[in-house]
A and B are shown apart, each in its own frame.
Chain A
Amino acid sequence: MTPLFDPQLPADALLPLLVLASSLLPGLVVFFLGEARVGTRTALNLGGAFLKLGLVGWMILGVYHGQRYELRMPLLDDLDLVLRVGALSLLFLVLSAGLWLVTTVYAVGYLEQSPHRSRFFGFFSLCVTATVGVAMAGNLLTFLLFFEMLTLTTYPLVVHRGTEAARRAGVVYLTHTVLAGALLLAGTVWLYTLTGTLAFAPRGFVSEVASEHPAALTAIFALLIGGVGVKAALVPLHGWLPQAMVAPAPVSALLHAVAVVKAGAFGVVLIVYDVFGIEQAAALGVTGPLALVAAVTIVYGSLRALFQDDLKRRLAFSTVSQVSYIVLGVAIVGPLASVGGIVHLVHQGVMKITLFFCAGNLAETLGIHKVSEMNGVGRRMPWTMGAFTLAALGMIGVPPIAGFISKWYLSLGALEAGVHWPLYVLIASSLLNAAYFLPILHAAWMREPSGPWAEAAARASAQAGDGGGRPRPETRWLLLLPPLVTAALSVLIGLFASMPVSPLEWSLLIVEREFHYP
């Protein structure tokens, strides 16, 4: 048993703790701030976000040079809480720390004047704390702890508006995630009683008992994947995600791109690679069904997205579909497919958060919630729709935007593994992506403005007289800047995919260093 606090704790072991504390402490302080203290609150939030990003950057350098960061604390008699930072954790850390920063900026702008901001930002910070905890988990117990903490801290954000609809969405969200938590707990304890350890390892930690208990291990795999699959919105466990759309736009961004869905997908990666090990998972015959579930989810999500008129719901079903690219990449079993899956963790996050920021801007500025109200909106809000267009094209897979890289590696990976059907799934999905995104782009850029917002704008300009004064910015700067940054980012990480420390290069590093294939 390790002592509670090691007096000779090296500074490197403190870094994971600092990464947690950089959002935990500001979050706790923010709860007690008065509503009116906007300046202090914003300073705390942004200070924490910048600090976290800096710490993560420091660790990238360290890990690149072979350094490892680890901190442990005893929790159960022979099970520790372990925070550990390796290449894979860093990928998720960078994603969540980076996107948290932009989302905080966006949320500050979005929630100007709205009530209960201290509570909102408090839970917002706790939510990110849980996410980085998930990213740094060094064993399944630690993962479980932060995964459940994520469930609890997102609930107040989902019901933040306090309406009856929000409360119902909260019930749906919890029904899904709490049941999932029970499955995850069951799988974890069962696995522990078989193996006597839960520490993540490059080849997994089940191989010694695999010959004795194949049936039990298959059941455990199903339990664990069921547990994380709800957050990853695998069909048929995805029902909560479109419902949770009642939450404010920054929360949707957080759910879809930074925290919840991503934690689920990351969990799938961990369970396949670090718990079972890809060889053992393939030997047990569980990767095939997993790939099938992923394929069904990809197609089903895209099909449902086609028929949504509500913009945020369309984006939500698009998330259902896109996140399963990650699962598919993992389940194909092969280095290149894994690269495609893992890099999509970042790519999907950056692109999808752009889309949600833009949807939030449309709703906040013009009151547009539906696709059918978007005619001609590109003329009124060209910057917002420009960012939206880039991200949507990226989702479809147009080069050189990030999404193309993911799909390219997934396809290569499928060919490398000698299977062809994932190609058809990818092609079908890309066609469907185009089918639900291109009409939006066409309406926004090509059609004449119509609908209530256009009439209001016409009245306003008639009152103000023609050509008077400089053109106003299309919306508040704090709302416009984040989607522009993330849209630019999704082009840049696609364009410079082969530069060192790009998400793609980092994924290649992860696969080379941490994964082992048969």
Chain B
Amino acid sequence: MPLDPSGPGLAGPAWMLAVVFLPLAGALLCFLLPRLAAPVGLVAAALTAASTLALTLAVMADGTARTQLGGWAAPLGILWRADGLSVALLAMTAAVGVTVSLYATAYFRNDEHERTFFWPLWLLLWTALNALFVSADLFNLYVTLELLGFAAASLTALGGSAAALTGAIRYLLVSVLGSLSYLLGVALIYHGCGTVDLALVAACVPDAPRPAMQVAAGAMIAGLLLKTALFPFHFWLPPAHGSAPAPVSAVLSALVVKASFYLVLRLWVDVLGGGGRWVAELLGVLGAAAVLWGSVLALRQERLKLLIAYSTVAQVGYLFIAFPLAVAGGAVAWTGALYLALAHGLAKAAMFLSAGNLLRFGGHDRIAELDSAVHRLPLTLTAFALAGVSIMGLPPSGGFIGKWLLLEAAFEQERFGLVAVILLGGVLAAAYVFKVVGHAFTPAARERRIRAVPPGMEWSALLLAAAAIVLGLTLPLISPLLQLGPASAASAVTLAAGGGA
């Protein structure tokens, strides 16, 4: 495939620049015009989402899009590339991003302080995410990762409470530690290969000195696991995600965690050429432990936001169960894991937004005192329950499709232990989701002061939850984007045929 940007997919590179620079411009404008932050931010969000859609369509039609910043070729210049995997995550980010932006206009309406800081930071975070998904060299990825970490930690601190600050500081430390570990790996690779371009590194890895490459890969993946909060590195996630304002929690759980997972996957498939059998088994064991441990802890929480945060710990585990299955030949497991990642993004954002509504309504998020919320905030509870359906993996929902594909791979390889974990995680998820829904049906012991919830906040949560359900019906449409494997470059070419058929 030619690296010349004036190739057949002319529209792709332009949209690729747009999805990174539009939110960046929005962030700067919001910073310069704090009084207009909300309308400017909303416009920037809408434009970013629109250009993401255009990029997705372009990639579906023409295959992988590439561009060179400044016109310099690969070893020296910066190469951006958007393949099926990239646009799938970009599109999910855009869907969550634009809905969270809508939600945030209502959420921060009466809080000027939080509003002026939220918008620039959030758009900066979106910029970092999009840049990460299109970057095609290790160092560029490091920069986006660092930017992402700082934006996310600052947003966590937005609430200003002691809990929020503690959570944010811890989050920042973990994030920096993870990035440093990743950077160490990049340095080793640069030393061994003399390049940081993903494709060139992939070509060099088999011939490079083995111990150095193993240490490099280990350091990079360990750093990213820390950022992805895979068990036992999950300790920082619940306090950070549980204490941030609702739109921030939604973004952290739905998107930020997925970014480092995406990077693990990208390195594993594209650079390390499939990785080692035993590393994959280890990741699978950690993933299984995360599913069980996270679900059990979620079930034991008394506060709604912490429950949802622990549920993220569990759902991240599912993504890593795919590694041993995929390494043993079940490429369908990658599709399953990616589908789960997309569905979790939509559903978890919807859950955090619903939790924000309940918190705004009753002034607290104690599950046992939800006080007939089902009668008073029916749309919010519907959103929570629909998102829960996807998290549990019941049909028809994105979560169901993902779990089905994982189960298919597990049964084909007769990995009954993994089958049991996948199913048990679903049952436990049903238990914690319905724990909340059940308490929302019963009245609480004492009356409380309540505050009105703007309809925009209710509807945006419902919209995301509905999207997680609809995702369950669209696999034939988007599965060409999710074909991963050793021949991912080839699949990007066949994508054009598959997507158009």
The answer on A and B forming one complex is yes
Q: How many residues of A contact B (CB 8 A)?
A: 39
A185: Cβ under 8 A from any B Cβ: yes
Chain A residue contacts of B473, Cβ below 8 A: 73, 75
A77: Cβ under 8 A from any B Cβ: yes
Q: How many residues of B contact A (CB 8 A)?
A: 38
Q: Which chain B residue lies CB-closest to A151?
A: B394
Chain A residue contacts of B407, Cβ below 8 A: 185-186, 189
The proximity string for B residues 154-165 relative to A, scoring 1 for CB distances below 8 Å and 0 otherwise, is 000000000000
Does A148 lie within 8 Å of B395, measured CB to CB?
A: yes
Chain A residue contacts of B438, Cβ below 8 A: 159, 167, 170-171
B14 to chain A, nearest CB (A): 30
Does B475 lie within 8 Å of A186, measured CB to CB?
A: no
B404: Cβ under 8 A from any A Cβ: yes
Interface of chain A residues 371 through 406 with chain B (CB within 8 A): none
A186 to chain B, nearest CB (A): 6
CA distance in complex: A193, B414 (Å): 10
B218: Cβ under 8 A from any A Cβ: no
Does A74 lie within 8 Å of B476, measured CB to CB?
A: yes
- Which stretch from B274-282, B306-314, B422-430 is at the chain A interface? B422-430
Q: Which chain A residue lies CB-closest to B419?
A: A186
A508: Cβ under 8 A from any B Cβ: no
The proximity string for A residues 36-76 relative to B, scoring 1 for CB distances below 8 Å and 0 otherwise, is 00000000000000000000000000000000000001111
B72: Cβ under 8 A from any A Cβ: no
Does A167 lie within 8 Å of B389, measured CB to CB?
A: no
A363: Cβ under 8 A from any B Cβ: no
The proximity string for B residues 231-250 relative to A, scoring 1 for CB distances below 8 Å and 0 otherwise, is 00000000000000000000
A408: Cβ under 8 A from any B Cβ: no
Does A171 lie within 8 Å of B443, measured CB to CB?
A: no
Q: With A116-B375, A119-B378, A171-B434 given, is the CB distance from A162 to B442 under 8 Å?
A: yes
Chain B residue contacts of A4, Cβ below 8 A: 476-477
Chain B residue contacts of A170, Cβ below 8 A: 434, 438, 441
Does B476 lie within 8 Å of A148, measured CB to CB?
A: no
Q: With A170-B438, A186-B419 given, is the CB distance from A75 to B411 under 8 Å?
A: no
Q: With A75-B396, A145-B395, A162-B372 given, is the CB distance from A186 to B423 under 8 Å?
A: yes
The proximity string for B residues 376-410 relative to A, scoring 1 for CB distances below 8 Å and 0 otherwise, is 00100000010001001011100001011101100
Q: With A75-B396, A152-B394 given, is the CB distance from A174 to B430 under 8 Å?
A: yes
CA distance in complex: A73, B475 (Å): 11
Chain A residue contacts of B479, Cβ below 8 A: 77
Q: With A116-B375, A119-B378 given, is the CB distance from A76 to B401 under 8 Å?
A: yes
Q: Which chain B residue lies CB-closest to A166?
A: B441
A444 to chain B, nearest CB (A): 35
Does B404 lie within 8 Å of A189, measured CB to CB?
A: yes
Chain B residue contacts of A152, Cβ below 8 A: 385, 389, 394
B439: Cβ under 8 A from any A Cβ: yes
Q: Which chain B residue lies CB-closest to A142?
A: B395
CA distance in complex: A168, B407 (Å): 32
Does B476 lie within 8 Å of A1, measured CB to CB?
A: yes
B302: Cβ under 8 A from any A Cβ: no
Chain B residue contacts of A192, Cβ below 8 A: 408
Interface of chain B residues 454 through 488 with chain A (CB within 8 A): 472-473, 475-477, 479
A408 to chain B, nearest CB (A): 40
Does A163 lie within 8 Å of B423, measured CB to CB?
A: no
B398 to chain A, nearest CB (A): 12
Q: With A74-B476, A159-B438, A170-B434 given, is the CB distance from A193 to B389 under 8 Å?
A: no
Chain A residue contacts of B424, Cβ below 8 A: 182
Q: Which chain B residue lies CB-closest to A80?
A: B476
A178: Cβ under 8 A from any B Cβ: yes
A181: Cβ under 8 A from any B Cβ: yes
The proximity string for A residues 154-166 relative to B, scoring 1 for CB distances below 8 Å and 0 otherwise, is 0110010011101
The proximity string for B residues 71-104 relative to A, scoring 1 for CB distances below 8 Å and 0 otherwise, is 0000000000000000000000000000000000
Chain B residue contacts of A159, Cβ below 8 A: 438, 441
A144: Cβ under 8 A from any B Cβ: yes
Does B396 lie within 8 Å of A145, measured CB to CB?
A: yes
A456: Cβ under 8 A from any B Cβ: no
B112: Cβ under 8 A from any A Cβ: no
B4: Cβ under 8 A from any A Cβ: no
Chain A residue contacts of B427, Cβ below 8 A: 178-179, 182
Interface of chain B residues 353 through 385 with chain A (CB within 8 A): 372, 374-375, 378, 385
Q: With A74-B476, A116-B375, A155-B434 given, is the CB distance from A189 to B408 under 8 Å?
A: yes
Does B476 lie within 8 Å of A77, measured CB to CB?
A: yes
Q: Which chain B residue lies CB-closest to A77?
A: B479
CA distance in complex: A115, B434 (Å): 22
Chain B residue contacts of A181, Cβ below 8 A: 394
A453: Cβ under 8 A from any B Cβ: no
Residue among B395, B426, B439, B443 with the highest chain A CB neighbour number at 10 A = B395
A496: Cβ under 8 A from any B Cβ: no
A330 to chain B, nearest CB (A): 26
Q: With A159-B438, A164-B442 given, is the CB distance from A144 to B395 under 8 Å?
A: yes
Chain A residue contacts of B476, Cβ below 8 A: 1, 4, 74-77
A300: Cβ under 8 A from any B Cβ: no
CA distance in complex: A471, B473 (Å): 58
Does B412 lie within 8 Å of A193, measured CB to CB?
A: yes
Q: Which chain B residue lies CB-closest to A159?
A: B441
Does A174 lie within 8 Å of B408, measured CB to CB?
A: no
A458 to chain B, nearest CB (A): 37
Q: With A155-B434, A167-B439, A193-B412 given, is the CB distance from A75 to B419 under 8 Å?
A: no
CA distance in complex: A181, B385 (Å): 17
Chain B residue contacts of A193, Cβ below 8 A: 408, 411-412
Other-chain contact of B443, A162, A186, A190 (Cβ < 8 Å): A162
Chain B residue contacts of A186, Cβ below 8 A: 407, 419, 423
Chain B residue contacts of A144, Cβ below 8 A: 395
CA distance in complex: A174, B374 (Å): 18
B369 to chain A, nearest CB (A): 13
B368 to chain A, nearest CB (A): 11
Chain A residue contacts of B392, Cβ below 8 A: 178
Chain B residue contacts of A189, Cβ below 8 A: 404, 407-408, 411
B474 to chain A, nearest CB (A): 9
Does A167 lie within 8 Å of B442, measured CB to CB?
A: yes
Chain A residue contacts of B426, Cβ below 8 A: 182, 185
CA distance in complex: A429, B419 (Å): 40
Q: Which chain B residue lies CB-closest to A2?
A: B476
A39 to chain B, nearest CB (A): 22
Does A76 lie within 8 Å of B475, measured CB to CB?
A: yes
Does B430 lie within 8 Å of A178, measured CB to CB?
A: yes
B419 to chain A, nearest CB (A): 6
Chain B residue contacts of A162, Cβ below 8 A: 372, 374-375, 441-443
Chain A residue contacts of B389, Cβ below 8 A: 152
Q: Which chain B residue lies CB-closest to A148?
A: B394
Q: Which chain A residue lies CB-closest to B420?
A: A186
CA distance in complex: A159, B370 (Å): 15
A76 to chain B, nearest CB (A): 6
Residue among A115, A145, A167 with the highest chain B CB neighbour number at 10 A = A167
B337 to chain A, nearest CB (A): 15
B262 to chain A, nearest CB (A): 23
B1 to chain A, nearest CB (A): 26
B417 to chain A, nearest CB (A): 13
CA distance in complex: A174, B426 (Å): 13
* A-B pairs with beta carbons under 8 Å apart, 15 shown: A75-B396, A145-B395, A152-B394, A155-B434, A156-B374, A156-B441, A167-B441, A170-B434, A171-B434, A174-B434, A178-B392, A185-B426, A189-B408, A192-B408, A193-B412
Nearest 5 CB-CB pairings of A with B: A145-B395, A189-B407, A193-B411, A74-B476, A178-B430
Seed contacts A174-B434, A182-B426; 7 additional CB < 8 Å A-B pairs: A74-B476, A152-B385, A185-B403, A185-B407, A189-B407, A189-B411, A193-B408
Interface positions of A (Cβ within 8 A of B): 1, 4, 31, 73-77, 115-116, 119, 144-145, 148-149, 151-152, 155-156, 159, 162-164, 166-167, 170-171, 174-175, 178-179, 181-182, 185-186, 189-190, 192-193
